[in-house]
Structure 1
Amino acid sequence: MQKKVIRITKHFDFESAHALYGYDGKCKNIHGHSYHLYVTVIGTPINDLNHVKNGMVLDFGDLKKIVKDEIVDVFDHATILNKNSPHAELAKDLEGHAHRLVMVPYQPTSENMLFDFAERIKKQLPQNVSLHSLKLFETANSYAEWFAADQVE
Structure 2
Amino acid sequence: MIYLTRKEHFNAAHKLYNPAWSREENEAVFGLCANENWHGHNYELYVTVKGTISPETGFVYDAKKLSQLIKTYVVSKVDHRNLNLDVEFMQGRICTTENFAMAIWDQLAPHIDGGASLHCIKLMETERIYVEYYGK
TM-score (norm 1): 0.76
Which has the larger share of strand? Answer: 1
* Structure 1 position 141 matched with structure 2 position 128: yes
Q: Greater CA radius of gyration, 1 or 2?
A: 1
Misfit runs of 4+, over 6 Å: none
**How far apart, in 1, do the equivalents of 2:133 and 2:9 lie?**
17
User: Pick from 73, 77, 102: which aligns with 2:76?
Assistant: 73
Aligned 8 A contact 2:50 2:116 in 1: yes
State the Cα distance separating 1:127 from its structure 2 match: 4.5
Give yes or no for the alignment of 1:10 onto 2:6. Answer: yes
Structure 1: unaligned runs, 5 residues or longer: 49-53, 82-90, 92-100
CA RMSD of aligned residues (A): 1.2
- How many percent of aligned residue pairs carry the same amino acid? 34
Structure 2 distance, partners of 1:142, 1:21, is 18
Q: Deviations over 1:42-78 (max 9, x none)?
A: 0111113xxxxx1101111000000000110100000
The one-letter code sitting in structure 2 at the alignment partner of 1:80 is: L
The structure 2 residue matched to 1:55, chosen from 53, 58, 65, is: 58
TM-score norm. by structure 2 comes to 0.85
Which of the two has greater helix per residue?
2
Structure of higher RCO (CA pairs closer than 8 Å, 6+ residues apart): 2
Question: 2 CA distance for matches of 1:33 and 1:117?
Answer: 16
